[in-house]
Each structure stands twice: as structure tokens, then as C-alpha cells.
Chains A and B, each alone.
Chain A
Amino acid sequence: MLKNYKFLLAILLPFFLIQTVAAQSVKISGTVTAKSDGLPLPGVSVAVKGTNNGVQTAADGKFSLNANVNDVLRVSYLGFATQEITVKQAETNLQIVLQDAPNSLNEVVITALNISKDKKTLGYSVQGLKSKDIAEAKETNLVNALAGKIAGVQVTNSQGDMGSSRVIIRGETSIGSNNQPLFVVDGVVVDNTQYLGTNGSRDFANGIADLSSEDIESVTVLKGPNAAALYGYRAAAGVILIKTKTGKGAKGLGVTINSNTSFSTVNILPDYQNEYGQGSNGKFSYVDGKGGGVNDGVDESWGPALDGSLIPQFYSNGQAVPFVAHPDNVKDFFKTGVTLNNGVALAGSSDKADYRLSYNNLHQTGIVPNTSQGRNSFLLNSTFRLSPKLTVTTIANYIKDDADNLPGAGGRRATSTMLQFTWFGRQVDINQLKNYKDASGNTFNWNNSYYSNPYWLAYENTVGQHKNRIIGSIELNYKIFEGLSANLRTSTDYYNDRRKIKVAYGTNGTPYGSYEEDNYAVTETNTEARLQYTKKLNNDFSLDVLGGGNIASNLFEQNDQVAPKLAVAGLYTLSNSRDPLVSSNYYSNRKTYSYFASAQIGYKNYAFINLTGRNDWSSTLPAANLSYFYPSVNGSLILSEALDIKSDVLSYAKLRGGWSKVGKATTAYQLQNTYNFTAPFGANPQQSLSSVDLNDKLKSETTTSAEAGFELGFFQDRVHLDVTAYNTNSINQIVTVDVSPTTGYSQKLINGGRINNKGIEVQLGLTPIKSKEFTWDITTNYSLNRSKVAKLDDEGRLQSIILGTDRTVQVLAALGRPYGTLYGNAYTRDASGQIVIGANGTPVINPTKQYLGKFTPNWLGSINNSFTYKRINLGFLVDARFGGSIYSNTNRTGTYTGVLASTLPGRGAANGGISYYYPGNNASAGAVRVSGSAPAGVTVYNDGMVFKGVKADGTANTTILPAQSYYKGFTNVDEAFVYDASYIKLREVKLGYTFPANWIKSIGLQSATLSVVGRNLWIIHKNAPNIDPETAFNTGNGQGLEDLTLPTVRNIGFNINLKF
């Protein structure tokens, strides 16, 4: 610990060595208004340039601060052109009019380390979102609100209405480790890990989903290492900076109330067939649901036609009852989810302090019966001006998540939702299952071989999650003398996540049930000190330098205990166990020391060069390699000003470019192989070598990136174009690679591998109509990324690294191919490309696995149209993803079980089935097509199909198969279930109304808005049948796999926002 203090002392010492100079102070008061509508602008930053002395305007646009004569006041607000005003004397009513500039060069953006900069000075691409873009979307998982809004950012919503979401900026840069960006909230590094837990039965939300969208003022996306180099090892995948609302500039006690109610419904379900019910070979009769009757243990729909024939069924106590379709039996299981989101915020400001305190409550009931989650969050953000030189800012965010039961996902019998319906009898009336227990408490179900009643799973086999999280920071700002300021901040993100996983006694497949408690405690602490010096060197040159240090520490603890078989039913405790408990725990500790520095040199306000450098010392690397340095350089040139080529057509032109390098360490304990203990065998302890061969010679990973771009504004900003091209190489990657088990290990940790990502991002903003009453804005984003795995191991022995697996399909980083190729079983084809059919009439699987596509898209695009007419605004966002593939196990399994409508062709004469018979009624003799009339005495079937292809000898295949055998005959061919994952979605439609001030003033309101927001309303186009191609198991790197995931949802929400 002593070393930590020493380290900080090194940073702080200069504070005390330096004398300060007093200056003449005057008071400036005034109002800021928008030029477009003349209305006062709240929240505008008014600050003395080069200092931390600044305020924000109140709801009425008013502000007041002290400054020195000849100080320059900077007046800036996101979306408006920044103004600079030199202080001449005291002012009591300074009128400042800001020009709207939605894409202006003069925009102020937040950059690394939470430092605000003029966008024009930056040599890299940043893109931001404002409060209302986030808050109105009201996504329970914040990440989803980014979808389609920022060029180069890809969001994948895993599944259902309560799951995780993955966000990727500019493609995957890391083979094996996290590819998601770093999240920083008000300068605090916030954990976004998704802890999947031990049995994968729930899609637990990723960490950042805890933030309440109502508290967010802005989101800034730093795309890739060029922008984020100062953040160090975690910046390789970009940074998402979130700024929460503050009380700056509020007058009196400002109260904001926000209320949202939204409804979620299932967006897409598989297209089921409704002509054939449960059974096999066209036969079914129920006795006990586990093979006692005719095919009544079969959980597939290859049974008799749903023609009303009288057949004993699961609910009929042996009586023969009509066998009929229930087309909506899956749809009817799902409910309308309801989310209530209510918040209140108090904000105030005085000479001495600003504060904002908010409380938000969220309660959501899901589309799956008995699922719900809730969140209570408190955020206090306060700044105290202790003296003209010293300010203290504290942020405390307490979040309590409580979910009694999250929806069952994945393919596990005791928990999954969609698994139940993909192995299903299409005749089942879901209403007959609602009473899921019989009189003696046993599960009552349509099938007793494998499944429990879906309502039993929903109500009895629950997974609860309770999470307490505190994100807090305290920050001291000290102005040492004019131009030099010191900043010290310490922050912590701590959470405790407790999960209770219940499987009820009597669940089919788990007769004794089970109970598990899985607990996580995660802490990230950052302490950072820095000095910043700003100086105008002469009329031409300005200098802005910064230096500092950071200590980051990460602690992680997991404790998991399972009672694998309960002793008695209904009691969920760890001691209620028949077998010894299965216990495990894991502890990890990681620390990183860093020094960093940056400098910006400006020339005549139109040419800028930025330099950064950072050195990290990471505990996770071997002593010889634990220190690594990485620099970056970028520059921008405002051509329109430098060459003075501004005209009515061309408003401005900017060129920018840069190169950067980012180093990256790894997770704890990756150097020395260890021996693990497993539960004893009788009285004998068991110990074995870990299955990953670790590496005591690890080096840091390096990502280098070059990017160049330009921004053009035309017709006074009515047209704005921003284009970026980048090329990123990630080398020396620390990757856990799968190795042949014959090496004695299943995986090995290596330094190696190089991925190249190149891409283009285009943002085009248009304002086709702009009048006093009506404005039409169009914002389009387009991005294209091409990745290539250029190298795996240094020796060239590895051809691929497995990123994910589903059944026999693997997702690979394969040499010479794009990141994330799908690899699996394919058809065998002859020279002319015809599918080769075996003697049994089904396709022959190619003994060599084949590349079946890649999960990464070719390009992403979006168009947002926004119309403002007087006080009404309407916006709709369409986003698209083109290219990339997905393997769908819903399609595979549904084909095997005959529940999908796609298995209808050939099933019966009406569906085009071939009529055939077996000579002598001996099925082994092979089917013979009926031509004319069949021989006497044989049974004729009408469900014959012939697989299109050629036999081994090259002649056309003629083998007739019953439809059931036909469809099952290619379900091991993965190629048949890989689909194009392209889609076009109507992502968001917003309609809002702002009440006129004079109406509401009388009831004491400052402002009132009403809005209706629809999310994910319509999948306009897709090529993958039966599923939403935008789906995944989780947020890991093994994407492009769909495995009986929950249906995605559409939301319609109603917002009311009142300010008092």
C-alpha cells in the first residue's frame, strides 16, 4: 500500500510547490437563447476558458459567474456552435444567442478522461447521442438504445425481453477476449461484464444495463484506439462515455417527474404447421405419455392428421376425443409484458453548490409467464465550490436490481422455454396445461418422457437475481494558477450479484430437483491524479498539456453452491440435500499502475496536433514484460478556415488523421499451471492438472490503428458529411486456443495472432426543410468493416481457434478468413455441385467439415427521419444489417420434430407427397412408387419424398422416403440450417408533443412533454426463416449461433415528462 501513496505523492507534490497569483474578479450574469426559436437554453456550459471555473444555464437560460477582466468566456452546448466572449467588465444582462449547428465543427465533445474538447481539434471520429435519444427509447437494457444510431456501432440484442445485449465498435479486434467497448460514466470505469453463471439457463443482463436511461445527459462514442488511447489497455475496442445529468444551472428547486409505461409483445415466432399432431409414422394414441400408448412418449409432430379423428389424448382420461389443431398454442403461452418506469429528480444550484438527486423505479413483467424484474436506483451528483480555486464533485449511484424470475433460455430441459415448443405436439391445447400440477402435486403434461409442463417450468423452476451496486466517485479540482489545474479522483464500482436457481422436485429429467446459489462480488477501483496546463503561447500557437497517473484495481469473487438433489420437495436451502453439496469458489485480484500524458498544440485555431502516451504496469504479466508503453498522434486541419474557402455552398471542411497504439494485458493468474481439486471420491481427494496450458512468457497485446477522415458542411450546415476510413491491426494477441487434446491439454494460452480490421464509416446529415414551423432532418449512418485473421500462432501450426460451438457447428477465427467463420457439416457434392445421396436415400455428410459463412455483417446502415412541426415531433429510425450468416437450431430441431410449416411439403397427397408401398408390407425392402394401382394387400402411403441429388454412381436419386425420414435425414447437415442474417428493421418510431409554456405555467409547470415510442415494431426484411436473425446466446465472441432462443419483442411505450 505504501507504494500507492508514494505514487500519488509524486503527482500531488507539485500542488504545494507552486505559488498562486491573485487576479481582479467581476460578476457576469446573462441569458443564453437559441437562435432558431429564440427560446432560452438550459444546461448550456458557460466557462472561463482554460479553467475549471464554469456554470450551466438554468431552465430559463440564465447564468451567473465570476470572471476576471480579459478572461475569455466559452459558451458551449451540444448541438450548437460554441461562442467565445472576452470579458470587458461586469455584466448584469449579457444576451448570448447560440446558433444551432447539429453537425457543426464547433461542437464540443467529451473525450478520453472526461475532458471536453472542441470537436474541430480532434484527429479522430467521435459521435454522440443526447439525452432524449436515450431516454425516450426507454430500453430496459441501455445498450439497445444505441442500435442503429451511430455509424460503426453494432448492437445485438441476445433474446427475449430481459436479456443481455452486445455492442461492438468497428468489428472485433480481439480473437479471444472481450471485444466490447469500455464504459465510463462521469469518469468512473463501470463494469459491463456478463456473468453467465454455471449452467447457462438464463441470459443474465450485462453490467451496464443497470444504468437508468433517465439519468443520462449524453453518450459519446469514441470509436477505437485512436480516440481512446489515453484509457489504456481497455480502449482497444473503443469507449462509450456516459455523462449523467447534474444540477448545474438549476434555479431554485427544480423538480422533474417522468413516467413511462410500455408494453412488449412477441415480435416473431416460428411458423408452425397445423396439419399433423404428435406421434410418429402417422400414429398416436395416449396412455401414459411415456411410451405406454402408441407413440405417446414421442415429443415430435409426425403423428396423425389433425382432422378431428377421435384419439385418446393427455387430458381425456382414455376417452377418444377430436384430434385437432391449436394453431396459436405457442403464441398463447406468451403474455404482453408491461414495464413501468417512474422517476423523480430534484436539481438545485447556488454559488456554493450544484446538486441533482434522482430516484428511478422500474418494474417489468415479461412475455414469459411469471417472469419479472425490477430496479430501484438513486443517483446523487453534487459539486461544491469550496473556494474559487477548489471544487469537489461527488457522485453516488446506488442501484438495486431484483428479479424474482428471469425467463428460461437455451436448450436445457428443466429450464428452457422455446425448447419445449420446438419439441412439441402441434395438437396440444396450451389452455389444458395451465393447471400444471395434478392433485398430488405431480407435473401434469402432454408428454411425460422428457418434458415438464411449460407452466411448471415457468412457475416452479425459477431463477432469481438480486444485485446491489454502488458506483461512486469523489473528485477534487484545484486551480493552481491561471492555466494550471490539478485534479484528483477516486472511484469505485462495486456490486454483489446473488442468484438463486431452483429446479422443483418432480421436474421431468431432474426428479429430485436441485437448488443452487451463485454469488458474485465485483469491485473496480480507480484512483487518478492529473495536472493540466493550458497556455496561449502567442498569437498563433496554443498549448494544452496534461499528465497524470492512475491506479486501477479489480477484485472478483465467485462462490457457487449446489444441492444437486433435494431431500424434500418445496424447500430451497443448501442443507436440504440428498447428495453432498457441489461447491466452488474463485477469487481474482488484478492491479495496474499507469502514467499518461497528452499534449495538444494548436495553430491559429485551424490546425491542431494531439500527442498522447501511456505506460502501464500490469500485475497479470510476467515480471520481465509487465511494463509496456504506447503512444498516439493525430491531427486536424480546418481547411475552410486555413484556406479561407468558406462560401454559401461550402460552410466548412475539415481533414483529420491519426495513428495510435494501445497495449493490453490479460486477466489474473495466466502464467503458472496449477492443479485443481474436485470433490473427493469417497475418502479420496481428487486433484488434476488444469486443462489450459498457461504461459509464463506472456507479453502485452498491441492494437495499432490508423484512421483518416474528413467532414464537410454545405449550405450553412443543412448538409453535413463525415467520412472515416480506418485500418486496425491487433497483434501479439493473448489467446486461449483450443489445441488437440492429444497434447494433454484442451487449451493453451499463447501470444500470437493478428487480426486486421479495415472499414469505412459515413455519416450524412440532411435538413431538407427548415422553416420557422417545420423542420425535417435526416440522419444516415453507414459502416462497413472487413476483418481478416492474418496470423494465429507464430509457428504457423494453428489453422483456427474456436470461438463458440453449438452442436456440431463451430465459430472459428480461421487463418486467412474473416473473424467469426461458421464451420460445420456440409453436404457432399459431386463435381457439378449436385448433392450426393446415400443408399438409404438421405444426403451423405461430407467427412470434412466446411466453412459455411461468417457471423460478421458486410455492412450496417440506418436512416433516421425526424420531423418537427411546431410542438409536435415525429421520428422514425430504420436500420439494416447486410451480410453475415447465422446457424439456426430452431430450424434444425423444428425440422427434426416436424413442428415447422416448412416440414409440410410431401406430408400427404394434398401436400404433394408421392404414393408408395412396401413390397409385402416389409419396410426393409424399400419403398416402391405406385404407378397405376398398387398390388393387392399392400398398404399405400402418400407421404413419399425424394431427396434431390445424385447417387454415388452419378445417376439421379430415386429413393422414396417417408416425409418423416426425409426431413430427419438432413438435420445433421449443418449447412442446411445456415442462413443469411441480413435484416431491415423499423427500429424506432417516436411521436412527441411539447405543451406550450403559457398553457402550463398556470399550473406551476416549467415544461411538459408527452411522447409515444415504438421499438422494434417491424422486421421489414429478413432471409432467415422462423427466427429473428438479430439474436444470440449471450454477449461473447461465439456469435452467429441461434439455439432455441426466446423470441424478440416489440415495445410500445408512453412517456410523460413534467418539470416544475
Chain B
Amino acid sequence: MKLKYITIILSGALLLSAASCKKELADINQNPNNSQTAQPDYLLTAATKVTADTYWGTANNMDASLLFVQYWAKIQYTDPDRYIYSNSAFQDLWTVGYSKSIVNLNQIIKLGDEQANTSYKGVALVLRSWVFTLLTEAYGNIPYKQAANIDQYLTPAYDTQKDVYFALLDDLKTAQTALNPSGKAIAGDVIYGNNITLWKKFANSLRLRIALRIADREPAKAKQVLADIQTEGGSYISANAETAQFTYVDSPNQNPISNLFDTRDDYRISKTIVDKLFALNDPRLPVYASPTKDATPQTYVGIPNGLLVGDASNLGFTKTSKPGTYFLAPHAPAVIISYAETLFDQAEAAARGFITGDAAGLYKQAVTASLKQYGIADAAIATYTALPAVQYDAGNYKKSIGEQKWIALFGQGLEAFTEWRRLDYPQLQPAVAGTLSGKLPVRFIYPGTEQSLNGASYSAAVASQGADVLTTKLWFDVN
């Protein structure tokens, strides 16, 4: 029977080819487009850059925190300046923070362990801790323990802000130990050029910053952290040259603000900061603001925050000041922690009695450091620091430090936003046509996608923290 032969031959050949084709098929499916292994130095550059871009970029800085603290104001499309946001407006920090920054920093930690290069682990822990602070200070409760571990947690639970801060303090202590200037060298560090000693100072300055964040809630813990640093013999960022910052280079790696101003003209400097700088005759005014294009009674004209669209543009694009060219330059740095800030922090720690020290002296050094950061001459600095309005007021350290720190942090929207909420100075007035019933925003709203993608965890976080609106105060923000 002919058909029988066919059947036998067919099934024999079938078995033969089926077995041998498996290997061939698996080989075909090897991805030739990307690498299956990673290098810690390449990961480090990428993670640093992507974090700096979002930290300094549109969604978190220019269209949100720079407006909230009234450094900048919008002359067109004023919705954000009036606190009108969709729930996708704050997606960027969340997405980049977790899925571009933290996840890659975790890879560096893993590779650092595998290659017995502890400094990689230390650097990655410092950066990761900074990213977590940005997240918790913007949103409040955030995933920490279950974050960036997709194999175990597809819908990570949110931790309270207190737990996040406490965990970060532990992480930074670990980082301090891991950072070993005499150990294996690292590469790919575009913040400190692979200088581990400076990373140790960055780590401590961040611990100092966090200690003050929790100061109103957990003073004992804060004091303990600072005591630990002293015991370890640690030091802080101690010169403007040691400021932790990400310095941009040429296009296409230019500063995001510079990039935006290349094609758009939506922002002006805020009247609030201009008025303050005028009042103090502050030599930083020409640095922070550009002269108006048309001659005006005053060379620098800020615009009020949160005007209606027509009202804002009617002030005249050529009759109002853009931010200063220092900030619009392609190579302008994204400052993470400045020398001035660590001095302000130490001044406050002293004022609170967490450390021993001369609060007034540290405060004056801080103001001086900030002026020097922008190249102000010594004589002008002396004049400025002698002004009664600039002098340290021991009776209200929050006001002195709050107002000068606010001026010093110009450009660092997220950091200034947090410090303004914590210190409650300067006392800002809400946007002219603000939509929060006379209030200012005191947090970001969670990205809308969390509702659909991580609904149960989101709901639990909102239940614990309060409504997911701009006006819900976060744990660290007492009063």
C-alpha cells in the first residue's frame, strides 16, 4: 500500500527534523540588537544623566516647582502657574525616578558586589537615595521596600514617608562605608569625575539634609544621624568646587532649560523673587534675571504668578525679564547639593541644637558661599551681608535661613519647594488667579496611571496620607 510508505517516511523525517531544529530556532532568537551584559560605568553615566534631565526639566522644574516657589512665572499657557494640572502632569518624575534611574542604579549595586568594587555600590546608593528623596518629597508615601523588584512585586506597596527617610538614612550609612577612596577605581562618574572622597562628602551632606527634613517630626533621630557622622569623622561638601552638580555639555546633551528656550518663550522671572532681590539690592539679580528686551523703567521686570492667559501676555514679552543667561546657557549645571546649602543646613542644625556650632557664623558663611557661587566680588558680598535685612535673626532662625536659602536655591525648584514647605519661609502669596481657594500647592499629585496600574496600593497610600490633591500636606511638612 503506497500510502503506508508515505506515512512511515513522513513520520520518521518529522521526528528527525523536529529534534534538530530546536537548537537552530533558539539560535535565531538571540537578540543581535542589544547587549545582554552591562558595564557599571556606562550604566552610571546614563542613570545620572536621565535623573538630572528630569530633575532640571520641564515637568518637575519649569512647569511645577519653579512656579510654586515663585522663582519663575508663565507668560503664556498659564494653567500650571494657576495650579491647573491633569493627573498625567506629574508622571515624569515618577516614571523616570523608578524605571530609568533607580532600576539601573540597582544594577550598578549588583555589579559592584559581583566585581567586588564597593565604591560603585556606594555611588549608586547615594544617587538612589537622592532620587528617593525627590520622590517622597514630591508625592509623600511612595514604594521603597517593594520598589524596582518586578519578579516579586508587580504592584509595589507604598511606604510611609517616615519609613522611607529612615531607610534612606540607613542606606547612606552603608554607602559611606562602601565608598572607599583607596579601593578599586570607578569610571563613568560625570558628577565628581570618579573622585570617591567627594562622594563621601556628598553622602554626608545628603544625610544632613534628610536629618533636617525629619527634624520637626523625629528630632532625636535627626540628632543621632548627625552624631553618627561626627563619630565617623565624616565631613560635608566644603567648597563651591565640591558642589554636587551635573554639568551639561554641547547639544544634544545641553541643559534642558537651554534646550527649551531655543524654541519656546513661555516663561518669565517671577515678580516675587525680583521684588525680593530689588528690596535687598541683591547682587544676584543680574545673574538670576535677564534685562528686558525693550527699555523699561526698571531693567529687570518680573511678572506675577498665575495670571489669566491674556493678562499675562498683555504684560508684553519684550517688557518683562526672562531668567538670567547663566541659567539659559547650554552648559549650565543642574545643582544637586551646593556648598551654600550644606552651610545653611549646618547653621540650622546648630540653631536647633543638633550640633554644636555658631549658627549665625555658619549662616553668614552660607550667604557668602551662595554669592561666591555666582562670582560676586568680595566687596559686594561684604556690603550685602552687612545689611540688617540679611543679618541672622536668632529669634527666628527659620525666617533668616528660609529667606536666604530660598534666594540661594534659585533654579533648584524641587529642593526649594521642599525647603519652603518645611521652613514656611519666605511667606508666599498664592497665584493671582490660582485655583486652590487661596492655597499654594504643597505636593505633587500621583500620576494617574497608578490608579489603573497599581490601584490597591495607590488607594492604601491615599487612605493613609490624605486625598490625592495638591493641597494635602506631607508628613515632614509640620504646620
A contact residues vs B (CB 8 Å cutoff): 3, 6-7, 9-11, 13-14, 17-18, 279-281, 283, 290-292, 294-295, 297-298, 302, 449, 509-511, 531, 533, 547, 564-565, 578-580, 582, 585-591, 593, 595, 617-620, 623, 626-627, 668-669, 671-672, 674-682, 684-691, 693, 738-746, 748, 793, 795, 797-800, 802, 807-808, 810, 812, 814, 823, 825, 838-840, 842, 845, 847-849, 923-924, 964-965, 968, 972
B20 at the interface (CB under 8 A from A): yes
Closest residue to B5 on the A side, CB-wise?
A17
* A residues less than 8 Å from B448 (CB atoms): 808, 849
Contact yes or no, B150 A674, CB < 8 A:
no
* B residues less than 8 Å from A688 (CB atoms): 43, 46-47, 50, 100, 104
Q: Interface residues of B toward A: which range?
A: 35 or more
Contact yes or no, A693 B86, CB < 8 A:
no
- Inter-chain CA distance A693–B152, complex, in Å, is 13
Contact yes or no, A684 B190, CB < 8 A:
yes
* B residues less than 8 Å from A591 (CB atoms): 24-25, 28
- Chain B residues 422 to 479 lying within 8 A of chain A, measured CB to CB, are 432-433, 435, 437, 445, 448-455, 457, 467-469
**Which of B156, B249, B452, B455 has most A Cβ within 10 Å?**
B452
* A residues less than 8 Å from B195 (CB atoms): none
B373 at the interface (CB under 8 A from A): no
CB distance from B23 to the nearest CB of A (A): 8
B295 at the interface (CB under 8 A from A): no
B76 at the interface (CB under 8 A from A): yes
* A residues less than 8 Å from B143 (CB atoms): 740, 742
* A residues less than 8 Å from B29 (CB atoms): 590, 619-620, 668-669, 671
CB distance from B461 to the nearest CB of A (A): 11
Contact yes or no, B95 A746, CB < 8 A:
yes
Contact yes or no, A681 B49, CB < 8 A:
yes
- Inter-chain CA distance A849–B467, complex, in Å, is 14
* B residues less than 8 Å from A627 (CB atoms): 18
Contact yes or no, A582 B36, CB < 8 A:
no
Against A, the Cβ 8 Å flags (1 = close, 0 = not) of B200-226 are: 000000000000000000000000000
Contact yes or no, B88 A808, CB < 8 A:
yes
Contact yes or no, B22 A684, CB < 8 A:
no
- Inter-chain CA distance A840–B82, complex, in Å, is 11
* A residues less than 8 Å from B16 (CB atoms): 6, 10
- Inter-chain CA distance A562–B263, complex, in Å, is 18
- Inter-chain CA distance A972–B87, complex, in Å, is 10
* Pairs of residues from A and B, 10 with the lowest C-beta to C-beta distance, nearest first: A10-B13, A291-B317, A744-B148, A744-B103, A280-B310, A674-B34, A687-B42, A686-B46, A740-B454, A669-B31
- Inter-chain CA distance A1033–B437, complex, in Å, is 39
Closest residue to B146 on the A side, CB-wise?
A742
Contact yes or no, B47 A3, CB < 8 A:
no
Q: Please judge, given known A-B contacts A693-B150, A740-B155, whether A586 and B452 are in contact too, CB under 8 Å.
A: no
Against A, the Cβ 8 Å flags (1 = close, 0 = not) of B67-87 are: 000000001100000001011
CB distance from B86 to the nearest CB of A (A): 5
CB distance from B147 to the nearest CB of A (A): 5
B167 at the interface (CB under 8 A from A): no
Contact yes or no, B435 A840, CB < 8 A:
yes
Contact yes or no, A547 B10, CB < 8 A:
yes
Contact yes or no, A297 B313, CB < 8 A:
yes
In the complex, besides A585-B33, A744-B150, A797-B154, 16 extra interface pairs with C-beta distance below 8 angstroms are: A3-B21, A7-B17, A10-B9, A17-B6, A281-B311, A298-B310, A669-B30, A677-B34, A684-B42, A739-B150, A740-B449, A741-B94, A743-B153, A743-B156, A808-B448, A847-B87
- Inter-chain CA distance A849–B150, complex, in Å, is 25
* B residues less than 8 Å from A595 (CB atoms): 14
Closest residue to B52 on the A side, CB-wise?
A681
* B residues less than 8 Å from A743 (CB atoms): 98-99, 147-150, 153-156
Q: Please judge, given known A-B contacts A290-B317, A739-B453, A802-B452, whether A825 and B310 are in contact too, CB under 8 Å.
A: no
- Inter-chain CA distance A693–B16, complex, in Å, is 35
Closest residue to A303 on the B side, CB-wise?
B310
* A residues less than 8 Å from B249 (CB atoms): 681-682
Against A, the Cβ 8 Å flags (1 = close, 0 = not) of B305-329 are: 0001111011011100000000000
* A residues less than 8 Å from B233 (CB atoms): none
- Chain B residues 31 to 68 lying within 8 A of chain A, measured CB to CB, are 31-39, 41-43, 45-47, 49-50
* A residues less than 8 Å from B316 (CB atoms): 291-292
- Inter-chain CA distance A531–B150, complex, in Å, is 49
Contact yes or no, B150 A626, CB < 8 A:
no
Kindly identify which residue among A593, A626, A681 contacts B190, using a CB–CB cutoff of 8 Å: A681
Contact yes or no, B42 A848, CB < 8 A:
no
A-B contact pairs, 7 of them (CB 8 A): A7-B13, A13-B13, A298-B310, A510-B263, A669-B31, A689-B38, A848-B451
B142 at the interface (CB under 8 A from A): yes
- Inter-chain CA distance A114–B188, complex, in Å, is 59
* B residues less than 8 Å from A677 (CB atoms): 34-35, 42
Closest residue to B6 on the A side, CB-wise?
A14
- Inter-chain CA distance A677–B41, complex, in Å, is 12
Kindly identify which residue among B28, B32, B87, B314 contacts A619, using a CB–CB cutoff of 8 Å: B28
